[in-house]
Structure 1
Amino acid sequence: MSALLDSTAVAQYLADHPQFFEEHAALLGDVKLSSPLTGRAVSLQERQMEVMRAKYNALELRMAGLVRHAEENAAIANRFHGWTQQLLRTHDTAAMPAAVAEGLVEHFIVPQATLRLWNLAPQHEGSWYSAGVSDDARLFASSLRAPYCGPNRDFEAVRWLENADEVRSTVLLPLRAGGTAFGLLVLGSNDPERFGAAMATDFLVHIGETASTALAPLRA
């Protein structure tokens, strides 16, 4: 019988007879194993404690990660709540675009934010939020099926920001009503890592949907 089969048979025997070490308790202290932590020989009991400590540390790290993510989500939810309250307090429809953009800067600590809208009611044409939107920008907004997060690739929409030359990463959120794009919300940062391609977009989707609902009354 090969050594592999012998070790397998021994392992199977111990698995099938859990009372073995109860009947031979002295072996727990006599069996020596090499510790991967210290490199020295340790008893079976000590090795078991090392394994348990490793599992405990792994669970502790995982729990710390879960707590951190929960705290981050709670902070984002509180900011979102503050922003939506600001929108609800804005009763003047013409003031809503500024409330949306300025609220994002205030509550989400975004360096820059702006937006542009089109197909608006006549009284809103000629406002700052309807100026300088090309057909290409409208087509681009219509093509976005999810928020864009990543580097600034010289997007036309980024040039709507006051300090566009400083923007290194950006978020582009299409604004839709009835499935049709009628605007584009732009966030910008001079930090290339602030808005990365790996960034979770759940809250960004909610921001886009909320902004769309708040701005829809401006449409024709």
Structure 2
Amino acid sequence: MIDAIDPAALAQYLVDHPQFFEQQAGLLGKVKLSSPLTGKTVSLQERQMEVMRDKYKALELQMADLIRLAQENAAIANKFHGWTQALLKAQHGADMPRALIDGLCNQFSVPQATLRLWNLAPGHGTEWYARGISDDARLFANSLLAPYCGSNHDFEAVRWLDDAGSVASTVILPLRSGGTAFGLLILGSPDPQRFRADMATDFLIHIGETASAALAALRA
């Protein structure tokens, strides 16, 4: 009576003796396996080819996903570059808020955008970007430790947009200098999926930091 062979021991033996199938080449054509793809019986070589094809397809999908992400990141980088160029072209400090807002709308196809600033240098207090700011809005700005991205819950800051009633999703970015907020940048869209709560905010943080640096010259 033949003792049962331990499958693990047999597998380890084949790993330890890779020359086995070289010495017993005829076995490769005799070993038959069931194919999970067709349900038919195939040779060991055919089954190995199926496994390799599956791995190749998985690698193709991963590569396609990486290419897509790279293309999306390159497109975002180009838009960001165009926006910063528009900021650099602003001739005077007072032109910066409008250049910043228009650049965001044009480069990133944002339907609506605006900003408000406080603690400004003399001469800027009557400008559009310094009007209608409540103490609550300033407290809200200082409480934002990260960009807000998601549904519009009738925020005061969103009401600063020209067509606030149509805004379904929004981004609210605190503008900071030395850790203290001196303004808010608001983006709005009628599409509830344009700005979602589960979106990554790394790029939005870069926008907020760049905007803060560009507007620093207007501060007191």
Which TM-score band applies after superposition, normalised by the shorter structure? over 0.9
Q: Which runs of 5+ in 2 are unaligned?
A: none
The aligned amino acid for 1:83 is: W
Residue 2 of structure 1, CA deviation: 9.4
* 1:88 aligned residue: 88
Q: In the aligned structure 1, how far is the partner of 2:165 from the partner of 2:24?
A: 76
* 1:101 aligned residue: 101
Are 1:213 and 2:213 matched, yes or no? yes
Structural mapping, 1:109-128, within 5 Å: 109-128=109-128
Q: Which runs of 5+ in 1 are unaligned?
A: none
Out of 196-205 and 90-99, give the one that drifted further: 196-205
* 1:38 aligned residue: 38
Structure 1 residues 26, 139: CA separation in 2 closer, same or farther (over 3 Å shift)? same
Render the CA deviation track for 1:118-155: whole Å, top value 9, x for unaligned: 11112111211111111111111111122111111221
TM-score (norm 1): 0.95
Q: In the aligned structure 2, how far is the partner of 1:82 from the partner of 1:105?
A: 12
* 1:140 aligned residue: 140
Q: In the aligned structure 1, how far is the partner of 2:108 from the partner of 2:94?
A: 23
Say which SS state the counterpart of residue 6 (structure 2) adopts.
Answer: helix
Q: In the aligned structure 1, how far is the partner of 2:216 from the partner of 2:155?
A: 24
* 2:202 aligned residue: 202
Structural mapping, 1:1-220, within 5 Å: 6-220=6-220
The aligned amino acid for 1:211 is: A
Aligned residues: 219
The aligned amino acid for 1:194 is: R
Q: In the aligned structure 2, how far is the partner of 1:102 from the partner of 1:75?
A: 19
The aligned amino acid for 1:25 is: A
CA RMSD of aligned residues (A): 1.5
Render the CA deviation track for 1:132-191: whole Å, top value 9, x for unaligned: 111111111111122111111221111111111111111111101111100010111111
Q: In the aligned structure 1, how far is the partner of 2:101 from the partner of 2:70?
A: 26
Q: In the aligned structure 2, how far is the partner of 1:41 from the partner of 1:33?
A: 5
Render the CA deviation track for 1:71-116: whole Å, top value 9, x for unaligned: 1111111111111111101021111111111110001111111111
Say which SS state the counterpart of residue 124 (structure 1) adopts.
Answer: coil
Which portions of structure 1, spanning 4 or more consecutive aligned residues, are displaced by more than 4 angstroms? none
Out of 182-191 and 137-146, give the one that drifted further: 137-146
Q: In the aligned structure 2, how far is the partner of 1:101 from the partner of 1:203?
A: 16
